[in-house]
Amino acid sequence: MMESETEVQRGHTDLSMIVRPDMRQYRVLDILIEFKFVSLREAGVDGKTLEKMDEETLWALPAVRKKQREAEEGLTRYRERLHGKFGDVLRLKSFSVVAVGFERVVFSPLE
Does 5 score more than 60 pLDDT? Answer: no
In a domain, 62, yes or no: yes
Return the pLDDT at 12. Answer: 63
Return the pLDDT at 52. Answer: 93
Does 9 score more than 80 pLDDT? Answer: no
- The residue range of the domain holding 9 is 2-100
In a domain, 111, yes or no: no
In a domain, 23, yes or no: yes
In a domain, 108, yes or no: no
Give tens-digit pLDDT for 28-65: 999 999 999 999 999 999 999 999 999 999 999 999 99
Burial of 87 (0-12, 13-18, 19+ CB in 10 A): exposed
How many whole angstroms separate alpha carbon 101 and alpha carbon 111?
A: 26
In a domain, 110, yes or no: no
Number of structural domains (the chain) is 1
